[in-house]
């Protein structure tokens, strides 16, 4: 919704606050829009930690909605002391059926142009989430080309990975939803399949376990090196030494793709049209009805990527 402020698309060098309360994958969907706006406007992102920490190098400021007074945005008729920010424009991606957040934003930022959009495309809408958000930002009055912004992330890494570094193959057998995940047995068979090929170059196969996957840790600790990642620095350190990444539809998979890492993304219960990872070196494996067929396709793509490791991804 809009408060009748003058036409902002005539203006440049604005201070833009974007509110996106979500996990890592949800938050990273802002990157195409951020990339398109960088250098033109001062961008401030309000979201949830640790997801927003991954955007810090590309924006002027990140704000944790769980800290300070920001959590009061969701409380009706909330009282605020000061948030030490005065944006020209506020764009929110959140559920606000009772207009509680909208009313608080109007009260906080008098004179700013304020727009609230649903966090995701509607049911049955096949628009990619990143493109949907770019279109929403454009409709709020920011002068960006959504399709050009979306296309850019498919052509080049937006998050600074230098390809060709490291000899690590990282497997991430988890995600934020168990319904998306294949069993540990699937991943163990994949490891065996890669090792059985007696590859000419030595590649380290590492399993990445996040806080949500602790229960499957024991399935891998005798099979290969396991990394338990709890923070941004640790995760980025692992990915910086990765030449091939394989994972479910998860935030880490989206991160790897945007870093330019050769990425194989496994999809089960989430729509590929809305959520396929964005990057120049991404392959998708859709569930094929039985584990063996899916495993065979994943292994074939992995071995092909390993063989081509020194070349430009295709």
DSSP string, 38-107: BTTBEEEEEE-TTGGGGGGGGSSEEEETTSTTGGGGGSTT---S--S---SEEEEES--TT-HHHHHHHH
Q: Phi, psi at residue 114, to the nearest 5°?
A: -125, 130
Contact of 259 with 237, CB cutoff 8 Å: no
Regarding beta strands 225-228 and 204-209, do their DSSP bridges make them parallel or antiparallel, or are they unpaired?
Answer: parallel
**CATH 3.40.50.720 residue spans of the chain:** 8-155
> Within the chain, where are the H helices?
24-28, 31-37, 100-108, 129-139, 146-155, 184-195, 232-240, 251-258, 272-275, 291-307
Contact of 243 with 168, CB cutoff 8 Å: yes
Write the burial class of residue 123 (CB in 10 Å: 0-12 exposed, 13-18 middle, 19+ buried): exposed
- CA separation for the pair 192, 60 (Å, rounded): 45
Fold that domain 8-155 belongs to in CATH: Rossmann fold (3.40.50)
Mean pLDDT by 10 residues, the chain (314 residues): 41 85 96 95 95 95 91 87 85 95 92 96 95 97 96 92 69 88 92 80 81 75 73 89 93 95 94 96 91 94 84 45
Contact of 22 with 94, CB cutoff 8 Å: no
Q: Is 204 helix (H, G, I), strand (E, B) or coil?
A: strand
pTM of the entire predicted model: 0.90
Q: Phi, psi at residue 44, to the nearest 5°?
A: -125, 130
Give the per-residue pLDDT at 7. 43
Count of beta carbons in the 10 Å neighbourhood of residue 194? 19
Fold that domain 168-307 belongs to in CATH: Rossmann fold (3.40.50)
**CATH 3.40.50.2000 residue spans of the chain:** 168-307
Give the per-residue pLDDT at 254. 97
């Amino acid at each position: 919704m809009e408060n009748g402020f003058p036409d902002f698309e005539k203006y440049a060098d604005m201070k833009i606050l974007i509110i996106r309360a979500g996990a890592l994958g949800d938050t990273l969907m802002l990157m195409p829009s951020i990339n398109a706006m960088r250098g033109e406007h001062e961008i401030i992102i309000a979201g949830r930690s640790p997801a927003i920490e991954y955007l810090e190098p590309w924006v002027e400021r990140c704000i944790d909605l769980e800290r300070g007074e920001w959590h009061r945005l969701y409380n009706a008729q909330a009282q605020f002391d000061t948030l030490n920010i005065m944006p020209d424009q506020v764009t929110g991606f959140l559920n606000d059926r009772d207009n509680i957040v909208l009313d608080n934003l109007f009260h906080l930022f008098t004179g700013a142009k304020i727009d609230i959009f649903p966090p995701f495309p509607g049911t049955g809408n096949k628009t990619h989430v990143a493109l949907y958000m770019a279109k929403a930002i454009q409709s709020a009055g920011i002068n960006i080309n959504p399709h050009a912004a979306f296309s850019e992330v498919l052509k080049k890494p937006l998050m600074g990975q230098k390809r060709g570094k490291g000899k690590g193959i990282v497997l991430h057998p988890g995600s934020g939803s168990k319904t998306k995940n294949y069993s540990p047995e699937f991943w163990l068979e994949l490891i065996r399949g890669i090792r059985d090929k007696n590859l000419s170059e030595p590649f380290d196969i590492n399993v990445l376990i996040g806080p949500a996957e602790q229960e499957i840790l024991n399935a891998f600790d005798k099979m290969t090196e396991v990394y338990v990642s709890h923070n941004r620095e640790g995760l980025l350190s692992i990915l910086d030494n990765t030449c091939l990444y394989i994972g479910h539809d998860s935030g880490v998979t989206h991160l790897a793709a945007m870093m330019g890492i050769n990425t194989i993304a496994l999809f089960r219960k989430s729509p590929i049209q809305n959520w396929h990872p964005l990057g120049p070196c991404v392959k998708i494996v859709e569930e094929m009805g039985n584990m063996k067929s899916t495993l065979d396709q994943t292994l074939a793509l992995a071995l092909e990527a390993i063989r081509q490791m020194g070349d430009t991804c295709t």
